[in-house]
Structure 1
Amino acid sequence: MDDYISLYIYAWDKEKQDIKLFLYKKDNQFKVPRCKVSESKKYPKNSTAVIANKSTTNDSKVSLPNNDIPDKVRESNWNFAVDELYNKITNNEVKRSSAELIDLLRVYSCYKRGYYYHASFAIQVQVNALDKLHSKPENFVIHHKNLKTKSLERYQIHLTVERLYKLVEANNSKKNGGGENVPGATFHEITPQFAFSEETKYSSVVSSPALFEALGYSQQDKDSLYEEFIRLSFPFKSLIFPDIKPLIMELGYNGRESDIFRAFDEHHSGELDIHQFILSLMAMDPMTQHGQGPGEFRCRHIFRYYDEDSDGFLDEKEILRMVKDIADLLKQNLSEEKLKINVQNALKVFGVNPSEKVPMINFLTSVGSLRFRGTSLLFRATENSSFRDECCWNSSGYTLAEHAVMVRRSGAISNTLNLLDMERAGEVGNTGLETLYENEVLQVTPTDAAPSHYKKHKVKKQYSAQAFNLNSLPNEILNALRYFEHEIPGSKSAMDWGAVDKAKLVKYIFAICDSVKDILESEPRLLNITSPCYVLGDLHGNLRDLICFEKALWRLGPHLTPANFLFLGDYVDRGNYGVEIFCIHGGVPNLNGSLATINQIPCPLPQPEKESQLAWQMMWNDPVDSNTVTEELKKQLATNHGFADNVRRQTAYVFNEEAFDRFLKANNLTHVIRAHEVKQAGFEIQQRGRLMTVFSSSQYCGLNNEAACVLIHDMRIRNKH
């Protein structure tokens, strides 16, 4: 990757007591001439440019190296690049002073393991010579005092011009016997330590280190976020909308790019620093929780996303857009009238009159108190986006894997070693991985745009490091299952958890299930799988057999086995370690077919009684009350295979034990849990212990009933009330 130089050509206007600058205008923005300084280009050694002032000041907490920067900016290729750019602008017809370094940006690259530089130089010319440069329509000569900040490409240009003005003014005052000594150049540095320091204040409502840990961001993930910012922003230290627009589109917001940028731009400056960039991407992460601190900073982003005029308030039109987005995400096809009603209800929840706007504090309070729902769905990177995808580097032929694996005689992995770390420690020879990082990852495109670190610019998760991390969640679960299977004399029997933290175990299992769910939902219906491939049929909760397969086929883990594994379903139903419980609101329906028929119920369903008898029965059917059985009811039950008219409700049906048994057997179920009926104790058990009714609202409609819930855990169904 190449370094950059920018060139500030100026003159001192004694009459105006101000400096005049040469700039060019593109896309309605004033820009400073700049060019790349390619290390591969052979510049002549007799360059005429001289860096007159190498004194620097540091506007960051990083100390300025004594030798590195002066040597770097005084190299002949830098000098010649200044000459080349200046001569291109002036046709070598304007006399000039020596080039003076006035600003230096140094950026560290994790992948290069080195620095990139952007040096800004100033060259003074005579006023009449400067005016001659205003020969092309895109060229401008303008006084610094007439230069508006918003018209500049970056705010950093404004700061540099201000500093240049102070330098010239101070030098002129010094010549006249007064003035103060202003150092010649400012120094800025961007490093991972600066970006992720615990001292860095990301937000007043959330701790950044805690958030990284909660989201499971590895060091590689953070490096990828950091490198993505560098890739998009260099040779500057901030991002503007055109820089980040392609990434926003990849995150699933094509057509709403400016709204996302507004949400990112907390200070309405039109630019994003590295902290705003990282924080905002974390706010969009689908895994970021929507409660407490993370929830509040997410809601602040959501508010700015819908605040189209950036006035700090949400008006009725902006709230309508939010309400509609929530409805769409919930797959609710609401009419315009219904949306208007929801907007008016929202205004009441936010505590304002219909004609008033909603301030941010009202919005945050209403969401935080759970009075306004649905915001957890908003401002998320879409499921098919590349938010944290695996790194995708194109290659041809075979490549060397990045890890070595140490295996015990038992076949278990004892440790994994990173080959690049081993090479740097002198434990192995030249692996070529260092070159891979520099040449493959840091390949530069020959354009004037910001150079690319990747062949594909995405925020990436390093799969290899995760797969071989013995402390990762998937590998910890595998170790836990092996522990479950083994007998430990005097401590636990085989196929038993023993004295482990069951709550933490359940949390891990849920996390794995959520990850698997995301994978399965993103897969196509028809999978193309290469051979070799192991195909496994029904498991039905038979964990013992699954462990036998694991020992025989993928003892070292699937990522070290040269084959694919295809499971054909029926993982946990039945079997010694499986259970099937069907939960429904009303009662079992008179179903012609399997439970899969339920998937055919239309959605949405505004008139269920007319549009789907199956759905209506599932909502309104009840088990027969043995105390109310009449002769007429017995006849109906016998004639209709255990179903009869539900006289008490004047709609749907009641069902007896015969119909219930048939439903369980036809669908391979063991139990049914339903609601729909008030019970004195909050629950009732029927049908020989296989049907449980639970009601969770106490003192319902003035009654003296209890409330209850059901816990399904450890192969048992427990009621709590």
Structure 2
Amino acid sequence: MEPAAKQGEHRAKLIFRYYDADGAGKLNEEKVKALVADLGDGGAELGKTVGEASEKDFAAAVGKSEAAGKLCRLPKPIFAEISRALAMQHLKRYDTAKKGGGSVAAALANVLPKRAHKGVCPTCVEKKFELAAHLVTVDLSGKVTPKRLAAVKPPAKGKGEGGPTAGQYSAEVVFRPYSVGNVMLRLIRQLAKAKGTVAEPKALLMGDRKEDFWKLILRLYRDLLILLEAETKCQKAYSPCYVIGDIHGNIEDLLQMERTLWPLAPVMGAGCLFLGDYVDRGVWSLECTLYIAALKLLAPNRITMLRGNHEERTTQKHYSYLKECVQKYGEEMGLKVWELTNRIYDQLPVCGLVDDAIYCAHGGLPKSAKTVEQIVEVKRDIRNPEKESDIAWEILWSDPANEQEFVDTCEQKGVDPKTSGGFVFNTKRGTAFKFNEAGADSFLKANGLTHIIRAHEVAPPGYVFHFINKCVTIF
């Protein structure tokens, strides 16, 4: 788009894609008219050669055309405009920039198609800083030691009823050694060193300390509930952010992630978004749930917990989580522990957005919701998603399908693939839906998103891409 850029194949493709805004792959009569109108003199002659042209044919026809070379040009060199705009921004002279008519936004508006992506560029957002309540030091062994910088006073009467200030939370929850989150993490790390075997797994505070364990997780639940009540069913997260697939009771892998990705927690340089399925299959499902819940208490703005299809009572009864709780703590206490952790799952978001651009969910896309706004409106507390929310249930259970698999399933169900809207009944699961590339494209475009990250299916190498890398499964 630079004024001095040579006309050639790459510029021709840029021009083609600009006028082919709907991505149809051809320039129909209406698109050609727009091109001719923008060219003015000499446009009519060029229009005769590009009608119904594909991108390849268009590039061949106008690759070296001087007339077409006038299209999609910036009025001034882009880097000079960016430098000027940044200087004006730093000087807070927005009004002057607007009156001058030479801002980047004004320059680009004339030549660039409107982008659907609604994401936020992190470097463009005006930074807002707060005074930290603590200084954090790290010794050579990796031990994190906080030092309070200022006294934290309770809010005056009539103020702050909504919860503690950031300074109070930091002092009382994050860095206090005996806060419930820190106690829980210490106990789980100690257990990991002598956790027993798959056949005979050990658990936290077993035997005559079961009542102490109950009081600990009850406090954890109450504190965590305050955080979850502030979240929606589609929770936002921001980069840098690790997205983590199914855990399924594998405490060894979870603690290996800790050593690798967040070794100084609760001091975390990047966020973590968990895609659900913390329980079943593995025999330390309870400990995995409590570990991630405790981590969220200590770093609430860094940890996002999504619900998976195994965070649901009926599924757990068919697998191992209910049995695990009873085996470790007996019939009465085991059922109480199982129910309490499920109350946590009932509150969890079912999907998340990273940088307002990347859709993350355990299963996939819902057929019952076209927009993120519809997901946000789903009620927060869902005990039985299958009966209480079609949207939530479909997000937990859906799968992507390649085109051949999708067509085969459509034929099996007597559905016309062309009128399916990109969704067909998920015969593999016996519930929810499969979605193809058309279904994915429709959802991404409607919401200004770029990619999908999901879990739910075993991928032997750990990940697999779908739809030319628009969607990825991680496990």
**TM-score for the superposition, normalised by structure 2:** 0.30
If you compute each CA radius of gyration, which structure gives the higher value, 1 or 2?
1
**TM-score for the superposition, normalised by structure 1:** 0.20
Task: Indicate the structure with greater strand content.
Answer: 1
The structure showing larger relative contact order (alpha-carbon pairs under 8 Å, at least 6 residues apart) is 2
